[in-house]
Amino acid sequence: MGMLLQDDMFTPEVIADPYAYYGRLRDRDPVHWNEKYELWVITRHDDLVWLTRHHELFSSAVFKNDPRPAYPAIDESDFGLYEYVRNYQGDQFIQHDRPEHLAMRKVVHGYFTPKSMEEWRPFVRNAVKHLLDEAEKKGRMDVMRDLATPLPVLVIAEMMGVPEPDRPYIRQLAEKLLYIGRGEHDRMRPLTEGMKGMIEYVSPLVDERIGNPGNDFISVLASGEREGVFTRHEVLVNTSLLLLAGHETTINLLCNGTLAFIQHPDQWAKLKQDPAGAAKLATEECLRYDSPVKSIQRIATQDVEMRGKTLKKDARVRWFISSANRDPNTFAKPDTFDITRWPNQHVAFGSGVHHCLGATLARVEGQEVFKALAERFTGFRIDNEALEYQPSITFRSLKSLPIQWQ
């Protein structure tokens, strides 16, 4: 498409500000063929909702159904490692289609109902209080390091019964797993190290819960093996997946949301008027305005017509939450951060049968953090203006968010 000077999703400009680039695509070419990476880029809200709700047309078994090499290109010497990655990713329950996906999701779905997640709220509230007590003593904090990372790691590790001393190690492994959405040619090395490390770490935990189940979440996954829904490798991979998914995206919600409040003092003032009352809708707006996940991929299961174009069977199709959540056809003043916005049909958690399993948990954590910040602090300023994001097309992740209070 001639009007775009460059069409690369990994440039520093697009990483720093995805909204300008994907917004342009949404306005001018909403079903866009990216020649460089040979994939369709879907950017409109209504298209994204339609696509995610037609799971029979767009397979989630992306790694199993896509024999093409990794993109951006990787070192030839790492092709073997990519096979390991495909095998590992392919066993995640989210990388399956119906009917297998439904059977797998049902093993874990009941653990994450809104009612059962609500029971975790006091634990979350207490953890937030302790982390903020510690930070307040120092007079400043890196929101990423001191709040947004330890909170969700603590919560998911508690759910899974991961011993406390091991939690920093889990975070180290998680950081390696995040290379999945990045562009470095040598990324397969840290990525496979993270995957192998996770499998090695969770194996004895799973062994123990298979023989001696408790009410923790690993025992729930292990029950899937007893019922014949999961193989052992699938239990191990899904334990690793949920350990990662249970915190990485929440980190982004907490950091990006806090940043949005710092950049919009009027909305911060509104939250401070009634922190408990405003936190729920405010969290939804944080999810919409600067979404933790930027994009997710599918594979077309057959030729599909979208806006006059034919997405050929087996084509890669990538849908962009970051642009859909700023679509002016769905949201009034889409670039305005408005914490009273309702209804707010953002797609931060996707939609359809693959809608994020941990959505309610993320919401509880967001609500408790934004409420606690507003109850405790007058305001913040950023310690260092040069904010940087991880070079990922999957995640909208700040590298750090150092702040001081006023």
Partner 1 sequence: MARNLLVQVDHNVCVGNAMCETFAPHVFRLNDNRQSEAVDPAGDSEEKILEAAANCPVSAITVKDAETGEQLFP
Residues contributing to the site for partner 1 (CB under 8 A):
53-54, 102, 106, 109-110, 112-115, 343, 345, 349-353, 355, 357, 359-360
Cβ distance to partner 1 smaller for residue 147 or 361: 361
- Other CB atoms closer than 10 Å to residue 264's CB: what's the count? 18
Among residues 90 and 352, whose Cβ is nearest to partner 1? 352
Tell me the C-alpha distance between 318 and 39, whole Å.
7
Least Cα distance to 378 among 242, 216, 261, 291 occurs for 261
Least Å distance between CB 55 and partner 1?
Answer: 9
Least separation in angstroms between CB 347 and partner 1:
8
- Which is nearer to partner 1, 355 or 399 (by Cβ)? 355
Contacts of 64 (CB under 8 A, 6+ apart): 86, 90, 95
Q: How many Å from the N-terminal Cα to the C-terminal Cα in the chain?
A: 48
**C-beta closer to partner 1: residue 51 or 160:** 51
d(CA 226, CA 238): 15
In the block, tokens 């990525």 appear at 191
- Burial of residue 353 (number of CB atoms within 10 Å: 0-12, 13-18, 19+): middle
Query: Closest separation between CB of residue 404 and partner 1, Å?
Result: 37
Q: How far is the CB of 316 from partner 1 (least distance, A)?
A: 23
d(CA 326, CA 279): 21
Closer to partner 1 by CB, 171 or 363: give it: 363
Distance CA 192, CA 198 (A): 10
Minimum CB distance to partner 1, residue 181 (Å): 23
Nearest approach in angstroms of CB 56 to partner 1 is 11
Nearer to partner 1, 115 or 138 (CB): 115
Rounded CA separation 286/339 (Å): 8
Closer residue to partner 1 (CB): 2 or 343: 343
* CA pseudo-torsion sign 50, 54, 57, 61: positive
Name the residue nearer to partner 1 (CB basis): 292 or 350: 350
Residue 114 or residue 328: which is nearer to partner 1 going by CB?
114
Q: How far is the CB of 107 from partner 1 (least distance, A)?
A: 13
Shortest distance, position 171 Cβ to partner 1, whole Å: 27
Count of other CB atoms within 10 angstroms of residue 208: 15
Query: Which sign, positive or negative, has the C-alpha torsion 210, 213, 214, 220?
Result: positive
Q: Residue 88 CB, nearest distance to partner 1 (Å)?
A: 26
